[in-house]
Structure 1
Amino acid sequence: MGTIEQKVIETYEYLHDHAEISWEEVETTKYIKKFLEKSGCRVTVFNDCTGVIGEYGNFNNDLPVVGIRADMDALWQEVNGKFQPNHSCGHDAHMSMVLGVLMKLEENPELKDKVAVKFIFQPAEEKGSGALKMVGKQVVENVDYLYGVHLRPIQEAKMGKATPVIVHGASKMYSATIKGDDAHGARPHLNHNAIEIAAQIVNMMSQIHLDPRVPHSAKMTSIQAGGKSTNIIPGNASFSLDLRAQNNEIMEQLEKKVRSIFNSVQDLYDVEIDITDVAGIVAAATNDEAIAIMSKSISETLGEDNLNPPLVTPGGDDFHFYTIKKPSLKATMLGLGCDLQPGLHHPDMSFNKDALMNGVNILYRAVLNTY
């Protein structure tokens, strides 16, 4: 195993073993900052949030700036009976591959005056808010091309194959509360059971019918109601919803339907439903030039037979906020086959680590092919 391969694997193992959740990627930021500084990057960190930026190459002339983005955060998840930060979405792999590109550039010092590469290590992708924070920090203001990467489940891309673009859908996450009064278990006529109200919301969402040609879904993903006393009918509850749609237009329609359900349920049961938080991710805005560059890079690295077509997936990623907020940005996300199973966000997610160097080499070629 060569030096870069060893370093990439070692980096992955460290980041995997030191996972941190959204907005708490403090040690991860320190680790990457140190790595970037040792590699001669001009490094930027922030005093009000995690995340770190490294600039490598020649930023003093008219070269286009190529950004490479890696998400940093882990999920908070039950693993073997214990809740802990867990990199079951592959962000540890993404960071390792992007650092591997920097290693490849260092290995070819003659390129330093010929490229301008901005390494963007972004926090809080899982919250859907990290990219917007980086946009607010003007991180992509001088960036012309932006490349991302994401491991793909085995059902979407097998080991040794890759897609030049992931056409993610839009998503919205709602947190809300039901506000009513508790009642004695023997007197159900004196209140409205918050659990039954939540069930009514679930039933009504299942009856939403939008354009069947566009994938979409709405489901309740958490609910907390009641306490230790089993003879109290709870009048209060808190719950979360996850909404998905393959494009932004259907997402807008879906949101209107859900908010209409809230209003109807409030009137029917004479309770208050307060929306306490809304977070969301827009659907992908694709760029043909960036996709063509990534396609060429995959073909050169893995062979033309291993270039998969564009991947349409109901999953979401806040990567697409960069292009929504800066429409001139030419961006795409590499989808990397790695035999990932049982699936993304599964607590026991695993993948073929040999794919890490495939990702490094594809992204490295994408940088070179951009110039």
Structure 2
Amino acid sequence: MKMVTQTIKEEVTEIFNYLHANPEVSWKEEETTTFLTEFLERNNAKVRLFKDCTGVIGEIGEGSPVVAVRADIDALWQEVGETFQANHSCGHDAHMAIAAGVLLTLQKRSDLPKGTVRFIFQPAEEKGSGALKMVEEGVIDDVDYLYGVHLRPDNELADGLASPAILHGAARFLLGKIKGDDAHGARPHLGNNAIEIGSSLVNMVNGIHLNPMDTYSVKMTSFHAGGESANIIPGSATFSIDLRAQKNETMAQLVSKVEAITASLENYYGVSISLETGANIAAAESNEEAIGFLRQAITQVVGEDNLCPPIVTTGGDDFHFYTIKKPTLKAAMLGLGCGLTPGLHHPQMTFNKDALFAGIQILAETVEQTLKEGSPVEGNN
């Protein structure tokens, strides 16, 4: 096992501290992109920027196989104390620092096997659309293997433990509008009561039943109708529905059911009900070979006693769109235990910074082993 040197530790710590202190929200990661670009250029990586979005690609080596490491770069917008601000409470600052550390580590290995290592510093994961933009830009067209990393909360994975896969579920947010006619409170027959329509929608959504062996949920999370006048029956309303499923196939069934329900309510009440997708996150489509390389590296770095099974979680990550859009891509995401409390997306989230270096070692070993033993996807090269 090759250790992370003290020089790399110092540089990675500086990188993390800068990124943590300078968070930027989705699609506005301009300074973050500039900082990462300068880091990549300083370390002799081939750099690619994008004309119409943030994010940057760095590449070392040449030839096949092509192994990619993806790190998300955006922060959340949330109330911290009494101030709303950008905040790295999901660990993306750590993910970037780990990816940077992997590059620094691999650059120092004179015996690195032949192949290309591509670092994808991806914007807008929190919006669920950054990975799709990277796919559109062609950054994985020739990639054979893709690895990611995500810090895990302490109640899911204790400090010092690691998992070779995070099996995220699918998530989708539907934003709806009911459009009908207002009516006087004394003449309800002349309009449409959007509140009653909303009540019917809640009851019908709660009555959705799919295969009980599949994990899923669907629930209304907001509903707004009416104003200050108590004698006006509101004909219009807005609402949102949150859908979750452990499988992409189950999510497709849920969406179909909700669309059928709104269509039937439109017909019954004589109103217009529109739906649009506010966010859409795919469930994990991991690859056993990629998981195997991660498992082997975890065992080498932290020992078999600290290797945990793949994590099944209802949370989501747009990392999985890469494999949805390119089914031949072999991908897996490292789950890194780091003493993270109180939890992801908590404004005061904190974790053990020493875990950064375990993550760097694990991913560096994974990439090196993949370069040595991995097989290029047919047609990529």
Map of 2:68 onto structure 1 = 67
Render the CA deviation track for 1:341-363: whole Å, top value 9, x for unaligned: 23222333222222111111111
CA contact (8 A) 2:172 2:277 kept: no
Classify 1:358/1:233 alpha carbon distance in 2 versus 1 (closer, same or farther; 3 Å): farther
More divergent stretch after superposition (46-55 vs 279-288): 279-288
Would the aligned equivalents of 2:113 and 2:368 in 1 still touch at CA under 8 Å? no
- Paired amino acid for 2:36: I
- Does the aligned pair in 2 maintain the 1:105–1:111 contact within 8 Å? no
The answer on 1:16 being equivalent to 2:17 is: no
2:135 partner SS: helix
Unmatched segments (≥5 aa) in structure 1: none
Q: Can you list the C-alpha shifts for 1:194-239, whole angstroms capped at 9, x where unaligned? A: 3453343233222211112111011233444445667655433322
**Which piece of structure 1 moves more, 111-120 or 41-50?**
111-120
Q: Which moved more, 1:134-143 or 1:79-88?
A: 79-88
Alpha-carbon spacing, 1:186–1:288, altered in 2? closer, same or farther (3 Å): same
8 Å Cα contact 1:163-1:335 kept in structure 2:
yes
Residues 338 and 352 in structure 1, CA contact (< 8 A), matched pair in contact too: yes
CA distance in 2, matches of 1:347, 1:236: 35
Deviations 1:120-159 (A, max 9, x none): 0111112222111111111011211110011112222110
Deviation of 1:186 (Å)? 6.9
Residue type at the aligned position of 2:28: E
8 A contact 2:79–2:347 mirrored in 1: yes
Closer, same or farther: CA 124–231 of 1 in aligned 2, 3 Å: farther
> Per-residue deviation at 1:183?
4.6
1:138 aligns with 2:122: no
What's 2:262 paired with? 262
Give the match's secondary structure for 1:110. coil
2:102 aligns to what?
A: 101
- State the partner residue of 1:40: 44
Aligned to 2:171: 171
| More off after superposition, 1-10 vs 209-218 | 1-10
TM-score, structure 2 as length reference: 0.88
C-alpha separation in 2, matches of 1:318 and 1:295: 22
Supply the distance in 1 between the matched residues of 2:92 and 2:367 (Cα, whole angstroms).
21
Contact 1:56 1:112 in 2 (8 A): no
Letter matched to residue 54 of structure 1:
G
Tell me which residue corresponds to 1:152.
152
Could you give the per-residue CA deviations for residues 172-206 of structure 1, whole angstroms, max 9, x where no partner exists?
22122222334556766654443453343233222
User: Superposition pairs for residues 239-278 of structure 1, below 5 Å?
Assistant: 239-278=239-278
Range that drifts further, 184-193 or 43-52: 184-193
Q: Deviations over 1:30-75 (max 9, x none)?
A: 1111111111111001111111100112x1x4x3111000111222
Mapped to 1, the partners of 2:305 and 2:99 lie a distance apart of: 25
Query: 2:316 aligned with 1:304, yes or no?
Result: no
User: Structure 1 15/181 Cα, relative in aligned 2: closer, same or farther at 3 Å?
Assistant: farther
Counterpart residue type for residue 20 of structure 2:
H
Higher alpha-carbon deviation: 4-13 or 243-252: 4-13
- Number of equivalences: 367
2:293 matched to 1:285? no
Tell me the distance in 1 between the aligned counterparts of 2:242 and 2:71. 24
Instruction: Give the equivalent residue in structure 1 for 2:55.
Output: 51
Deviation at 1:97, TM superposition (A): 0.8
User: Which sits farther off after the overlay, 156-165 or 229-238?
Assistant: 229-238
The verdict on how the C-alpha distance between 1:31 and 1:221 changes in structure 2, with shifts beyond 3 A counting, is farther
Q: Does 1:85 align with 2:92?
A: no
Q: Distance in 1 between matches of 2:237 and 2:294?
A: 47
| 1:215–1:314 CA contact under 8 A, matched in 2 | no
Q: Which amino acid aligns with 1:20?
A: E
Aligned to 2:350: 350
Please say if residues 170 and 282 of structure 1, whose CA atoms lie closer than 8 Å, have aligned partners that are also in contact.
yes
Q: TM-score, normalised by structure 1?
A: 0.91
- Tell me, what secondary structure is at the counterpart of 2:110? helix
Correspondence for 1:315: 315
Deviates more, 1:329-338 or 1:71-80: 71-80
- The amino acid that maps onto 2:90 is C
Instruction: Report the equivalent of 1:369.
Output: 369
Distance in 2 of aligned mates of 1:365 and 1:358: 11
Q: Distance in 2 between matches of 1:31 and 1:301?
A: 29
Structure 1 281/7 Cα, relative in aligned 2: closer, same or farther at 3 Å?
same
- The one-character-per-residue Cα deviations of 1:72-98 (angstroms, maximum 9, x if unpaired) are 122222333433222222212111111
Identity of aligned residues (%): 58
* Contact kept in structure 2, 1:202 and 1:220, CA below 8 Å: yes
